[in-house]
């Protein structure tokens, strides 16, 4: 079993927040699920660039941390839908604020990248 080399500082809110939602895809997943996209196949289609493997890992982590719940329907084929928990809904204002900031910063970032100041 995996053991952390650096323990989480539970006295630092940023450390806790980064542990729970600090990844490339988690804010996008929370946002899409809040918009009503609940099935894994639809999430893969809605989020540009995410792979099925990464999607499953990120959904599992969000579920483990209590931001998502899932409903499994005993059908053929099997159907799984995700939903935001109360904790998941409580982070939506932060997701919205980060989205708003990102959209306002996008032209500046595009300019920086086009000038070759950052390599991606």
- pLDDT by residue for the chain (120 residues), tens digit each? 667 788 888 999 998 999 899 899 999 999 999 999 999 999 999 999 999 999 999 999 999 999 999 999 998 888 999 999 999 999 999 999 999 999 999 999 999 888 876 665
Residue 29 sits in which domain range?
Answer: 13-115
- Domains held by the chain: number: 1
Q: Residue 7 domain-assigned?
A: no
Here the CATH number for the domain that contains residue 72 is 1.10.10.10
Dihedral pair phi/psi, residue 84, rounded to 5° = -80, 135
Q: Residue 45 domain-assigned?
A: yes
Non-local (6+) Cβ contacts of 50 within 8 A are: 25, 28, 43, 44, 58
73 and 80 Cβ atoms separated by less than 8 Å: yes
The answer to pTM > 0.75 is yes
104 and 80 Cβ atoms separated by less than 8 Å: no
């Amino acid at each position: 079993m995996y053991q952390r080399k650096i323990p989480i500082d539970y006295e630092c809110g940023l450390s806790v927040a980064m542990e729970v939602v600090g990844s490339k895809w988690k804010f996008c997943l929370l946002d899409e699920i809040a918009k009503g996209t609940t099935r894994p196949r639809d999430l893969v289609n809605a989020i540009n660039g995410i792979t099925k493997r990464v999607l499953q890992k990120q959904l599992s982590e969000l579920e483990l941390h209590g931001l998502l719940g899932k409903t499994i329907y005993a059908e053929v084929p099997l159907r799984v839908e995700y939903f935001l928990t109360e904790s998941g809904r409580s982070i939506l204002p932060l997701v919205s604020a980060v989205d708003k900031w990102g959209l306002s910063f996008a032209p500046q970032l595009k300019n920086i990248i086009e000038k070759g100041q950052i390599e991606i």
